[in-house]
Amino acid sequence: MGSVVIPIPDGDQGFTHDLKQEKKFRVSLSPVISYVQKNRDTIRKAIHAIKVGIALVLVSLVYFLDTLYDEVGDDNAMWAIMTVVVIFEFHAGATLSKGLSRGIGTVLGGGLGYLAAVLGQQVGGIGNPFVVGVSVFIFGGAATYARLNPNIKKRYDYGVMIFILTFNLVSVSGLREENVIEIARERLVMIVLGFAICICISLFVFPMWASDELHDSMVSKFEGLASSIEGCIEEYFRLVNEKENQSVQPTASFRDCISVLNSKAKDESLVYFAKWEPWHGRFGLSHPWEKYQNIGEVLRELAAIILSLKGSLNSPEEPLQALRESIKEPCEAAGSSLAWTLRELGESIMKMRRCQPRAFIVPKLKLVRQELSQVMCPFKLGKLDNAEGFAVASFVFTLMGVVEKLEDLSKEVEELGELAGFLQD
């Protein structure tokens, strides 16, 4: 029998070829990945705009298809479009919350409006508009008064507004129309149609989860505050000759602290929307979103303390330089420990794992507190007999305040891990 020789490439050459191909593929994707990371918010906004456009096209089929249009009519078909325009929000939880609020407000307003219209028709004559007018006054005024309540306005303002609108439209329509129940039914069907289209597109087409945004923003706050502490410590102990060099840019930036201080309203909105969202990814229906609010409050208090260090950076440099050099080493060590603690806590939330603060973080913070207490001895601070000593003491005291607030923060993160069921390390 004849033999066939099959050439076998050298193993090393084949492996090297695969590595080159993989490296080339990674290099080709790097610009795309970099662009997506830099323009993430813009891309998400564009996706949301496309989703709203798709929803409007789908709901407009009521007008495009003659069969549907003849069935519902022009006056009722517009309610589907109005529903899409009004309730389609950026986050899935916000869309679901607003849609359900609109549905409940429509049902209650339509039902009570129908009863008012029927009662007016039963009275008949001049009593019909009188009954309807009194009903509109009572229910409209009561609902408007309820909207002024801060708790209702914060969460149910849109639903109450829809209740007022629907009640007035349905009850007043009974003055000129006989088949009020048919009108209310057709409008409710159109509203449900618009709501269904919004929910389906919001939940199943590139969903924007408020829970993911809240989780990621909370993690970024830890990193931002850690960088602020490191930059402040480095700026405070910079050498005199570097200070005189105007080309050297300040390393301390408090932009992250200001961002954290201004994040309360956004955090509250994201927490509220996250509660409405269904189970998805890492987050279940009973995820303790309230804990994120508590952690956010502690982070804002911590950001305010760090921001108070800004005054220490504006103190006269050269007279204080000798004192600063005497406390430089322990303060820099404390700053590194504080930054490490913040990053460790943020990483535990990001990876959803328990970092066991009581076993590792709290003892380290207590050690930092002891070291800073030793720095505060009158001998090292020039016996505090002048403004220079008081200025340096104020800086050290502020660092001790940061340590105390980090202890509270570590407890909050530990409680979050226990309630959310984070995995053990």
Q: What percent of the chain has pLDDT over 90?
A: 38
Q: List pLDDT tens digits, range 373-400.
A: 877 765 455 555 566 667 777 888 889 9
Q: What is the structure's pLDDT at 185?
A: 81
Average per-residue pLDDT for the chain: 81
pTM exceeds cut of 0.85: no
The average pLDDT across 237-266 equals 69
Collapsing DSSP states into helix, strand and coil, what is residue 109?
A: helix
The beta-carbon contacts of 231-239 under 8 Å, at least 24 apart in sequence, are 232/306, 232/309, 232/310, 232/313, 232/335, 233/331, 233/332, 233/335, 235/313, 236/309, 236/312, 236/313, 236/324, 236/331, 236/395, 237/324, 237/325, 237/328, 237/331, 237/332
Collapsing DSSP states into helix, strand and coil, what is residue 363?
A: helix
Collapsing DSSP states into helix, strand and coil, what is residue 398?
A: helix
Collapsing DSSP states into helix, strand and coil, what is residue 208?
A: coil
Q: List pLDDT tens digits, range 23-61.
A: 544 546 667 666 666 778 899 999 999 999 999 999 988
Q: List the single range of 153-167, 319-333, 358-372 with lowest mean pLDDT.
A: 319-333
Q: List the single range of 59-73, 129-143, 291-305, 309-323 with lowest mean pLDDT.
A: 309-323
| The pLDDT of residue 402 is above 50 | yes
Give percent helix, percent strand, percent coil of the chain, each to the nearest 5: 80, 0, 20
Higher pLDDT, 189 or 242: 189
Question: Residue 172 CB: number of other CB atoms within 10 A?
Answer: 19
> Which DSSP helix (H) or strand (E) runs through 148?
none
Q: List pLDDT tens digits, range 212-234.
A: 999 999 999 999 999 999 988 88
For 349, residues 6+ apart whose C-beta sits below 8 A from its C-beta are 215, 218, 219, 222, 413, 416
Give the pLDDT band of residue 19 (cuts 50, 70, 90).
Answer: very low
- Geometric angle at alpha carbon 232, from 385 and 304, rounded to 5°: 90
